[in-house]
């Protein structure tokens, strides 16, 4: 759950009955950026953030920026905490992409240097960054609810995965990841490191390339 998923009554209850008892860190993961829609539940945001801190990649590649208030924000914060590295995030919707760029330009200048926003629906747009890095060290898939599309995105990155590469997927249990789920669970090259489910998550999986 996160604050954006609450109805107005629940928000009031959260404000007065829950918030005072949460640590500052837990509030931040639950609340995200005030007034900005963002997906991922609190536990998922934290897992993504901690995975980037642990792997400390030069680049993380994300499909599905949305408004920039969910996974993008917590990934950028992880890179800011590391003091180096960048999230390269791809969004197919031009309005959402422009809104996210404007948000980081105007309200989040300290994070802006840790995020590159790409507009489009083709992961081939990541190619220049992959060539610079020589590998896909960290990939987060959270695009359309479309099994074939997610599988094609996974296959795009496949030649760039190396031992220790991290692949994180949201909506792990739904149609979005049905074919990627099959591919990963049948592959000897990948090991599940973290799987989150209800009530903490609507489906979050973190795999490591062996
Ligand atoms: C579930 S939302 C992402 C949520 C976001 N990661 C967050 O935490 O707030 C999916 C997003 O993927 C975008 N999208 C769909 N197909 C895409 C594609 N092929 N390439 C890039 N973005 C895509 C949608 O426009 C939408 O904004």
Q: How far is the CA of 192 from the centre of ligand 1 (A)?
A: 23
pLDDT of 1 above 80? no
Q: What's the whole-number mean pLDDT along residues 164-177? A: 98
**pLDDT given for residue 37 in this prediction:** 87
CB–CB of 91/65 below 8 Å?
Answer: yes
Q: β-strands 204-209, 166-170: how paired? A: antiparallel
Mean pLDDT of the chain: 96
Percent of the chain with pLDDT over 90: 84
pLDDT of 77 above 90? yes
pLDDT of 6 above 90? no
Atom 18 of ligand 1 has which residue's CA nearest to it? Answer: 121
Atom of ligand 1 nearest to the CA of 37: 9
Can you tell me the distance from the alpha carbon of 49 to that of 204, in angstroms, rounded to the nearest whole number? 13
Can you tell me the distance from the alpha carbon of 50 to that of 7, in angstroms, rounded to the nearest whole number? 28
Can you tell me the distance from the alpha carbon of 125 to that of 92, in angstroms, rounded to the nearest whole number? 11
Name residues contacting ligand 1 (CB within 6 A).
38-40, 63-64, 66, 69-71, 90-93, 96, 121, 142-144, 149
Distances (CA, A) of 86 to 52, 150, 209: 10, 22, 21
Can you tell me the distance from the alpha carbon of 93 to that of 68, in angstroms, rounded to the nearest whole number? 12
**pLDDT given for residue 71 in this prediction:** 98
Q: Which residue stretches of 83-161 are H helix? A: 94-107, 109-112, 127-133, 147-157
Can you tell me the distance from the alpha carbon of 100 to that of 72, in angstroms, rounded to the nearest whole number? 9
Among 32, 92, 146, 157, the mutation site with the greatest number of ligand 1 atoms within 8 A of its Cβ is 92
Q: How far is the CA of 174 from the centre of ligand 1 (A)?
A: 15
For the chain, list the domains and their CATH numbers.
1-31 (no CATH), 39-209 (3.40.50.150)
Choose the weakest-confidence range: 13-17, 92-96, 168-172, 188-192.
13-17
**pLDDT given for residue 63 in this prediction:** 98
Chain Cα centroid distance, residue 50: 12
Residue 69 in 3-state DSSP? coil
Dihedral angle of Cα 209, 201, 69, 83, to the nearest 10 degrees: -40
pLDDT band at 5 (very low <50, low <70, confident <90, very high): confident
Among 33, 66, 156, the mutation site with the greatest number of ligand 1 atoms within 8 A of its Cβ is 66
Choose the weakest-confidence range: 14-18, 98-102, 171-175.
14-18
């Amino acid at each position: 759950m996160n604050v954006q998923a609450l109805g107005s009554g629940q928000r009031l209850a959260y404000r007065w009955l829950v918030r005072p008892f949460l640590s500052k860190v837990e509030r931040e993961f639950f609340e995200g950026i005030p007034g900005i829609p963002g997906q991922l539940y609190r536990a998922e945001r934290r897992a993504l953030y901690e995975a980037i801190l642990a792997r400390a990649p030069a680049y993380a590649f994300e499909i599905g920026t949305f408004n920039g208030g969910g996974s993008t924000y917590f990934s950028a914060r992880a890179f800011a905490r590391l003091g180096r590295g960048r999230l390269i995030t791809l969004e197919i919707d031009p309005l959402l992409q422009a809104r996210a760029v404007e948000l980081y330009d105007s309200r989040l200048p300290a994070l802006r240097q840790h995020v590159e926003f790409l507009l489009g629906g083709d992961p081939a747009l990541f190619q220049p960054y992959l060539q610079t890095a020589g590998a896909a060290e960290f990939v987060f898939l959270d695009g359309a609810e479309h099994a074939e599309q997610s599988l094609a995105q996974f296959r795009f990155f496949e030649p760039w995965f190396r031992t220790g590469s991290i692949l994180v997927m949201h909506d792990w249990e739904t149609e979005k990841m049905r074919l990627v789920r099959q591919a990963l669970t049948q592959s000897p090259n990948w090991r599940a490191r973290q799987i989150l489910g209800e009530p903490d998550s609507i489906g979050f999986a973190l795999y490591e390339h062996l």
